[in-house]
Amino acid sequence: MSAVRTYFRDIWMALFTVTVGMRVTFRHLFVPAVTLQYPDAKLKLPERVRNRLYVNIDDCIGCDQCSLACPVDCITIETIKSTADQDLGQTSTGHKKRLHVPRFDIDIAKCCYCGLCVYPCPTECIVMTDVYEFSESDRHNLIYNYSRMTSTEIEEAKAKFKKAEEEAAAKKAAAVAAAAQKKQEPPKASS
Ligand code: SF4
Ligand code: SF4
């Protein structure tokens, strides 16, 4: 094949492939657009979409059910028992609150949005929302802290529970000692 012939064949091939490509482009000029101008335009999400979690901590009873159900261990809960003289009130679903919740963290960077934590919650206070725009440049900002207890309140609650436990233990020990002493006393002679 001569060099001239190869030259003209290459020109023909170039024009042909451009024409094929432009044919596809041209066809799409008359097809409705499937892309969105995000973030100016957004898709309407389904009603039961699973995105970022939210916890209404006022309704949390610290039962740990959500944390136990989580397959990736991204929920960390710590609780402190209330004492007999403390009334922590009720949830909006009527459940009595007996535990302080000094820590309720969700590491949303680990969350796989399975929703398994939502179903066992007895007070329906952990829910999936439709919020999906929460990217962060520092992954530590993706650990959400829901507890609102201050460090002073936590220390007070711990000290109160410890004191109540010590008092209960002392009361129990005194009762055991009294029972042992009663056992050792000789039986009273009958008249
Ligand atoms: S949605 Fe799934 S992965 Fe995320 S916190 Fe709940 S149980 Fe864990
Ligand atoms: S299951 Fe609900 S009430 Fe229990 S600890 Fe989790 S969020 Fe709180």
Report which bound ligand comes closest to the CA of 92. 2
Show me where the domains of the chain are located.
Answer: 53-152
Residue nearest to atom 6 of ligand 2 (CA): 66
pLDDT at 190 over 60: no
Report the atom number in ligand 2 closest to the C-alpha of 95.
3
Residue 188 has a pLDDT of: 66
CATH for 53-152? Answer: 3.30.70.3270
How many whole angstroms from 71 Cα to the centroid of ligand 1?
7
Q: Which amino acid is at 84?
A: A
Ligand 1 pocket residue status of 116, Cβ below 6 Å: yes
pLDDT at 191 over 80: no
Q: What's the number of CA atoms in the CB half-sphere (13 Å) around residue 133?
A: 5
For residue range 25-80, what is the model confidence (pLDDT) as tens digits? Answer: 898 888 888 888 999 999 889 988 999 999 999 999 999 999 999 999 999 999 99
Q: CA-to-CA distance for 91 and 37, rounded, in angstroms?
A: 43
Residue 182 has a pLDDT of: 84
How many whole angstroms from 59 Cα to the centroid of ligand 1?
19
Residue nearest to atom 8 of ligand 2 (CA): 60
Residue 71 has a pLDDT of: 97
Report which bound ligand comes closest to the CA of 104. 2
Q: Which amino acid is at 72?
A: V
Ligand 2 pocket residue status of 61, Cβ below 6 Å: yes
- Locate all alpha helices (DSSP H) within 45-147, ordered by sequence: 65-69
Say how many C-beta atoms besides its own lie within 10 A of residue 146's C-beta. 19
Residue nearest to atom 5 of ligand 1 (CA): 111
Say how many C-beta atoms besides its own lie within 10 A of residue 110's C-beta. 14
Q: Which pTM value belongs to this model?
A: 0.80
Residue 163 has a pLDDT of: 96
**Burial of 57 (C-beta count, 10 Å sphere; 0-12/13-18/19+):** middle
pLDDT at 121 over 80: yes
Pocket test for ligand 1, best of 50, 65, 72 (most atoms within 8 A of CB): 72
For residue range 140-161, what is the model confidence (pLDDT) as tens digits? Answer: 999 999 999 999 999 999 999 9
For residue range 83-96, what is the model confidence (pLDDT) as tens digits? Answer: 999 999 999 999 99
